[in-house]
Amino acid sequence: VAGIRVLDGPLTDILEAIAFNKHYQVNDIYSCSWGPDDDGHTVDGPHPLGKAALQHGVIAGRRGFGSIFVVASGNGGLYKDNCNYDGYANSIYTITVGAVDEEGRMPFYAEECASMLAVTFSSGGANLRSIVTSDWSLQSGTGCTEGHTGTSAAAPLAAGMVALMLQVRPCLSWRDVQHIIAFTATKCDSSADWRVNGAGFHHSHQHGFGQLNAWRLVNAAKVWESVPFLVSYQSSVFQEETPILTYPSELVRSLNVSADDLKQSGMETLEHVTVTMTITHPCRGSVEIILVCPSGMTSVIGARRALDRDASGYQDWTFSTVRCWGEKAEGQYTLKISDHCEASPPCNAVGRLKQWKLTLYGSSMAYSDVKNRQKLVEEAMDGKYLNSSFSLHCPPGLDIPPEIISPFTSSNLKFLLLLGCFALFWSLYYTLEVTLTQANFKGLLCLPRQWDTYRNRRRRRGVEEVLTSKETEDNGGNEDQNSGEELQAVLDSEFKVLET
């Protein structure tokens, strides 16, 4: 276990990317109890470098089995926030973990989300206990705290359970871990909106597939065979300029994904389903987006948020769901968009759907294989495999060299920046000095003409100068010649000084 210090200052895209891939052949699990503001109106996620680092981690991390990224779902429940507006929580590369209190209910701070995988214990109301853990402060003399709260406490518990899974079977891939969570999580709150999908998995927007159970996770890991490679299908980008209808009316868009569409990838069953869209609306929190999978399983991928009155809409934002996990990929997908706008301006203005596309992620695992794995996992729950010498073959993984240590540390970058600023200042100073020097030379070259002009002006003044103009003109040539000789001498001396 290692702590990576990234939140002691402004968190930039490059620092985030470095943290996601820090010693990724040594660190197996990255527990992230942080994310965008849970204020009910923020839409944010990883930027290009952070996204690339997450993808690189699951491809090359942990000797090719993939780094495990555990992400807290967020604590914006009081503001009706939803973790589908958190790009870390709705990424296909992360394990999004929510929280339940000690009585197994959804706490007041927890967020609903169609992309949540599971929940673990954390704090609840004022009369319920919080999580006990180590603390950096030693003021009480124990080095512990009884006040670890929120999904920030739930995510590390999930990371610890994943570590137990890897201890039993180190060759589990990052997707194996996601599958085992979906196969083993248990229902924990009868009041939640539990729905059973077409593959027999139960899921709710409040608790994901359910509460994590270390015993079930480890026993399933013992008998788990790696799933086939990840494949995907992406539809065309549909460009339009369609008004979003006011609820209870809906803007409906359907897309039929045929067997021929999936033939090239070989996809049979689903894991993640995402919809990327651009929507304009003066108060984007008024828009509700629902996705219906071919089995009829519905997912609220874009929940309403009363505090989100941002007029920028959604610009190429990706919503995701795991509620169709294990279902057949072939069939008709339906997108329903409605506007729950206020009667007063500016929110009562019409929003528009500008563009959208559908992306399916899954594998070539047949639907029958999903059902067989469900039976195998349940058979392993009595511990007979865990307590025996039973062991599946575990490949050693790829021989991937450790990450290259970049010479551009933060200290080196600061030094190079200061050096560049000094070089720029010196260049500007030298350029200015040369420019002024050339201007002085031009002034000296203009002296004879200026002197002659001055003398001509003097000729026009008074009767006495008119009478002596003849004499002045006779001497003018000699004076000009003398002035030119004096100027040439000055220039010669100046150039000699410069040469020395």
Instruction: Give pLDDT, residue 139.
Output: 62
Mean pLDDT of 309-318: 95
- Residue 408: band (very low, low, confident or very high) from pLDDT cuts 50, 70, 90: very low
Instruction: Give pLDDT, residue 454.
Output: 46
Among 83-87, 177-181, 254-258, 443-447, the minimum mean pLDDT is found in 443-447
Mean pLDDT of 419-423: 84
Mean pLDDT of 142-160: 89
Question: Mean pLDDT for the chain?
Answer: 86
The answer, yes or no, to whether residue 366 has pLDDT greater than 60, is yes
Instruction: Give pLDDT, residue 2.
Output: 65
Instruction: Give pLDDT, residue 418.
Output: 82
- Residue 287: band (very low, low, confident or very high) from pLDDT cuts 50, 70, 90: very high
The answer, yes or no, to whether residue 66 has pLDDT greater than 60, is yes
- Residue 143: band (very low, low, confident or very high) from pLDDT cuts 50, 70, 90: confident
The answer, yes or no, to whether residue 461 has pLDDT greater than 60, is no
- Residue 386: band (very low, low, confident or very high) from pLDDT cuts 50, 70, 90: confident
The answer, yes or no, to whether residue 444 has pLDDT greater than 70, is no
The answer, yes or no, to whether residue 244 has pLDDT greater than 90, is yes
Instruction: Give pLDDT, residue 466.
Output: 42
- Residue 441: band (very low, low, confident or very high) from pLDDT cuts 50, 70, 90: low
Q: In percent, how much of the chain has pLDDT > 90?
A: 66
Q: Would you put residue 131 in left (φ > 0), alpha (ψ -120 to 50) or beta? A: beta
Q: Which comes out higher in pLDDT, residue 477 or 290?
A: 290
Among 33-42, 78-87, 386-395, the minimum mean pLDDT is found in 386-395
Q: In percent, how much of the chain has pLDDT > 70?
A: 84
The answer, yes or no, to whether residue 462 has pLDDT greater than 50, is no
The answer, yes or no, to whether residue 169 has pLDDT greater than 50, is yes
The answer, yes or no, to whether residue 489 has pLDDT greater than 70, is no
Mean pLDDT of 391-404: 79
Q: What is the pLDDT of residues 293-302, one digit of tens each?
A: 999 999 999 9
Q: Which comes out higher in pLDDT, residue 349 or 234?
A: 234
The answer, yes or no, to whether residue 387 has pLDDT greater than 70, is yes
Instruction: Give pLDDT, residue 448.
Output: 52
